[in-house]
């Protein structure tokens, strides 16, 4: 008697996973198998399209002010209405995708670059280098990320590149920690000793032998952190230290809308939905990437 529990979608999915053995095909079958992951992928895909083609898709100029059109309700001309300054809400959301994606990806790249470099060095060399790096990292991690990013953005003085830098630095302790912990494990493996035996230099061992082994866990971390970076950028813009007006950022739009939230709720709700959907999508896809890259990592991250 074969027993097939139809109520567990994951079970059907494992069969598919066993059948295929490349990471890509495993990722595709995973994301197709879980509908919610598929939805997440689609949202990210839409975001990418909007990022690239924003000027052609947006119906109006997102920066053009016209006070005579201030706070228009949704109409066929302005699908989501207009904001306080008479700018088209929908166009601003579309251009906001650009900023969200851009800040998310660049900030995480900055964080990953800093984190991987410092993590590799401190994990590989150990001793005082490790002590110094890790104590500084501990100190930075004791601050809430939002507070640190806020302080840094204020220090650097807003603007898109400074926001990316602030978010990147605020996230780097996490990357340092994760990379270092992996390096500590990998440093003791036989193949690293073997690399030493054939006369490879320290740099070569770090970047050629150890780094590729940390990539799976770091890719997952990056995907998950992009979502968090988007939310952090929105928070900074909302608090007024992020994207400078009149820049079309979701967080800044939310701030403008918040002043009139009871009279024109749609202006607050839609950017909120955008932020939530973007973050959720990156988290879902990050989970799928993790499962595809290395099933053993389940539960190691997060």
Q: Which residues bind another protein (CB under 8 A)?
A: 189-191, 193-202, 208-209, 212-213, 215
Residue 34 CB, shortest distance to another protein, in Å, is 27
Q: Which is nearer to another protein, 84 or 196 (CB)?
A: 196
Residue 174 CB, shortest distance to another protein, in Å, is 23
Residue 192 CB, shortest distance to another protein, in Å, is 8
Q: Which is nearer to another protein, 220 or 226 (CB)?
A: 220
Q: Are 227 and 286 in contact (CB under 8 A)?
A: yes
Q: Which is nearer to another protein, 210 or 231 (CB)?
A: 210
Residue 218 CB, shortest distance to another protein, in Å, is 13
Q: Which is nearer to another protein, 76 or 188 (CB)?
A: 188
Give the CA distances from residue 89 to residues 98, 255, 261, in Å, rounded to whole numbers and listed in that order: 15, 13, 14
Q: Which is nearer to another protein, 191 or 258 (CB)?
A: 191
Residue 135 CB, shortest distance to another protein, in Å, is 19
């Amino acid at each position: 008697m074969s027993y097939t529990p139809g109520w567990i979608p994951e079970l059907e999915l494992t069969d598919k996973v066993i059948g295929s053995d490349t990471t890509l095909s495993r990722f595709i079958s995973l994301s197709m198998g879980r509908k919610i992951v598929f939805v997440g992928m689609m949202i990210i895909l839409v975001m990418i399209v909007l990022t690239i083609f924003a000027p052609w898709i947006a119906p109006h100029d997102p920066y053009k002010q016209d006070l005579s059109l201030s706070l228009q309700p949704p109409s066929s001309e302005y699908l989501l209405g207009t904001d306080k300054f008479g700018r088209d809400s929908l166009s601003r959301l579309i251009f906001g995708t650009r900023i969200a994606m851009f800040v998310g990806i660049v900030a995480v790249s900055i964080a990953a670059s800093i984190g991987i470099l410092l993590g590799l060095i401190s994990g590989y060399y150990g001793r005082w280098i490790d002590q110094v790096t890790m104590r500084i990292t501990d100190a930075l991690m004791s601050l809430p990320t939002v507070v640190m990013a806020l302080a840094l953005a204020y220090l650097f003085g807003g603007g898109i590149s400074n926001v990316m830098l602030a978010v990147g630095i605020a996230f780097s302790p996490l990357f340092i920690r994760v990379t270092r912990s992996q390096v500590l494990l990998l440093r003791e493996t036989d193949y690293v000793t073997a690399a030493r035996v054939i006369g490879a230099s320290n740099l070569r061992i770090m970047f050629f032998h150890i780094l590729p082994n940390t990539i799976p866990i770091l890719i997952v971390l990056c995907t998950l952190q992009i979502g968090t970076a988007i939310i952090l950028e929105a928070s900074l813009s909302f608090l007024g230290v992020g994207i400078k007006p009149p820049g079309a950022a979701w967080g800044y739009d939310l701030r403008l809308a918040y002043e009139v939230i009871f009279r024109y709720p749609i202006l607050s709700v839609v950017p909120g939905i955008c932020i939530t959907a973007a973050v959720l999508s990156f988290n879902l896809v990050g989970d799928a990437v993790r499962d595809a890259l290395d099933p053993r990592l389940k539960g190691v991250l997060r």
